[in-house]
Chain A
């Protein structure tokens, strides 16, 4: 038999599970339909490592979120060289009549084990969050909330899993799942057949399809759309915390989000949609986000916006679905991973290992597990003295490709060596093209470096995989 475990999907969920499994003597394969990991829901979200508040105290997602947050703070960020920024969060209210609601969120958070919660008054806010508008009266302060770059979180996990022996195959869309002749599964993807004893379904928006392919059509995924708008770096210091209003029935509301890379962000909306491929932003969405954000910080203006995107939360009911499907022995579904899925992923991974173990997978630790991953160099994160040292060691760090975000030719090359195959893959790893000029200056230079590193013609380069070719023809 081929693999012990096949994981479908290289989003944050699949990547975290792959890394967790790579601690053990197992053959693990990750199959991803896109050209690179992190091109599904995990690329377009708020990047918040939630504390665990705003979840029912009895929910699975609440419990996993609190544990995921702890793992990030205590282990993962330092082990994987991630830039985790623990900035804390404020849930603000606009009138005294809403304070009981804050008390309730506080009590529920404490039941889940969230620490350090405190209701703060306007005087505290004036001191610690001076740009808040006059309507804001009080807030719940949640210190353990933080920020991460969501795609770099995925890349770190998957790189470390691969380092520890897991296999990753991209551009492999799973199109059929059959029962194997001697038990287990035969998984058809990209014209090949892969065999395994266990199948872990972490296919995000398409988890219902994968479960049905395997013979367990037990749930449906309804996408819940969220539009987000990024602001210019010049507005970096507009807020010191992630700022939330009171949650609504279906979402945590429109937020003001610092990001770990500097650009603040406003959003997301939350509307159920039909189409799993609908990543469009709308004029109504923009109006809704601006109105929501400005109620909390009135100085935010439309002209601050430099970029926007849309993400779809894979929703199935109110909670995560993480279970072995008894009707299909060996299939573990990890589905409906809506928010706070990014935060919960490391805890989900531990839980999935337990489920696999319970159903007969032996988890024998490896003699040597490479826990640490060196932190990739990002000039925009290092102090001048470090920059000087880097450039003296390797001149290409002084060759700046992206002027808006300060990204050097060496960083672009490194990103390709670490797995970037597309223009978006380079952007997510390095931030080149992510700034205010949107690649106006650096795109051709990056494309030339990609040609050199990958040895392909310019016509073969894509934004995010086949079908998104950047140019149609090369004439010399």
Chain B
């Protein structure tokens, strides 16, 4: 088993910022593991503008924002980037196993930063009753289909939940000529950024139903329609308020959950409801020498804030490794 100073799991904005900051603070050996074929994480599919306003004081798209960090990471030869590398195991004493095409590798790290991001909450977690036809996608998956593959999921869509990904996908689908019939939100207000409600829905005439929920999905092969019902302040259905919307696609945007299965495996304490690490402060976990940053630590609204806090995580790891010697 090889010994490494700092191993970072996840090559999105969080992992990259942490790697660069750790190096700046004097860490001489960083291994950055990324599951995908390229660095950048979720930013690669966020082709809309709105990134970098704080960090770079200019407006960039997701891939442009990611690219600035990718270049710096690649220039630094003391950051070893291992792509298509999937961490399968983490132990309390920081042994990491990862799979990559051709090898199962094991390393022992003096410090670990988990920057594994998050996954989307699904239809099954709400849960929405009804049938299970084709055409029901987490909004982020639909975003990947449209932006990365050029695959248009359907012709008429309803969006469940007004999270930012849902709002952005409403606009994206409308721009591709899909009829976006409604965004249905059970709360009284949007979960997304105010600017997104205006820019993504109002400007495109997409109706947003607050205090409504989808009570069933219908369809055998493909989605055919959804039932919508109005709810009161206790989220109870209001009798007689139900109506139907015909559509062939349902996109679900009901929040994100940190991906902390490795942390859990290592025995760290997690909040069972939010799946975030239980710890004394930002970027910390209940295990010494194991840090978490970015969306794995808590769900952020803005990539800029992820960068800011993850740079701090890099510094904290350096401090842990070098003590007083950290720059």
Contacts and interface: CB of A to CB of B under 8 A. Distances in A.
A467 B222 contact: yes
Interface in A360-396: 384, 387-388, 391-392, 395-396
A399 interface: yes
Given A471-B151, A475-B150, A396 B101 contact: yes
Contacts of A279: 131-132
13 contacts: A277-B220, A285-B129, A303-B272, A306-B125, A399-B100, A403-B35, A444-B151, A462-B221, A467-B222, A468-B134, A472-B152, A472-B154, A475-B152
Q: Which 5 A-B pairs have the closest CB atoms?
A: A467-B221, A463-B134, A395-B102, A468-B134, A468-B221
A443 B141 contact: yes
Contact of A441 (B99, B103, B119, B149): B119
Contact of A468 (B88, B102, B133, B154): B133
Contact of A391 (B99, B134, B153, B264): B99
Interface residues of A, number: 55
Contact of B141 (A308, A400, A440, A466): A440
B53 interface: no
Interface in A391-414: 391-392, 395-400, 403, 406, 408
A469 interface: yes
Residue among A303, A305, A388, A437 facing the most chain B CB atoms (10 A cut-off):
A437
B140 interface: yes
A398 B87 CA distance: 11
Q: How large is the interface on B (under 10, 10 to 19, 20 to 34, 35 or more residues)?
A: 35 or more
Contact of B140 (A440, A463, A465, A468): A440
Interface string B144-173: 110011111111000000000000000000
Nearest to B273: A303
B84 interface: yes
B122 A466 contact: no
Contacts of B149: 444, 448, 458, 474
Contacts of B100: 398-399
A184 B278 CA distance: 71
A307 interface: yes
Residue among B84, B103, B134, B153 facing the most chain A CB atoms (10 A cut-off):
B134
Q: Is the interface of B mostly helix, strand, loop or mixed?
A: mixed
B158 to A, nearest CB: 15
B136 to A, nearest CB: 9
B209 interface: no
B161 to A, nearest CB: 14
Given A391-B103, A399-B101, A438-B124, 11 more contacts: A280-B218, A283-B215, A384-B97, A388-B103, A391-B102, A398-B102, A438-B122, A444-B148, A458-B149, A467-B220, A467-B222
B99 A387 contact: yes
B309 interface: no
Given A440-B119, A440-B122, A474-B152, A406 B88 contact: yes
B150 A476 contact: yes
A308 B127 CA distance: 9
B189 to A, nearest CB: 23
Contacts of B141: 439-441, 443-444
A234 B122 contact: no
Interface string B26-37: 000000000100
A286 interface: yes
A364 B132 CA distance: 45
A267 B125 CA distance: 17
Interface in B115-145: 119-120, 122-125, 127, 129-135, 137-138, 140-141, 144-145
Interface string B217-233: 01011100000000000
A468 B124 contact: no
A398 B124 contact: no
Contact of B99 (A400, A440, A463, A467): A400
Contacts of A285: 129
B130 A280 contact: yes
Contact of B152 (A303, A436, A471): A471
B129 A462 contact: no
A281 interface: yes
A337 B198 CA distance: 56
A399 B84 CA distance: 7
Given A281-B130, A286-B127, A471-B153, A440 B103 contact: no
A94 interface: no
A281 B129 contact: yes
A386 B215 CA distance: 46
Nearest to A306: B124
A250 interface: no
A307 B126 CA distance: 10
B311 interface: no
A280 B134 contact: no
A282 interface: yes
Contact of B144 (A388, A438, A444): A444
Contacts of B148: 444
A24 interface: no
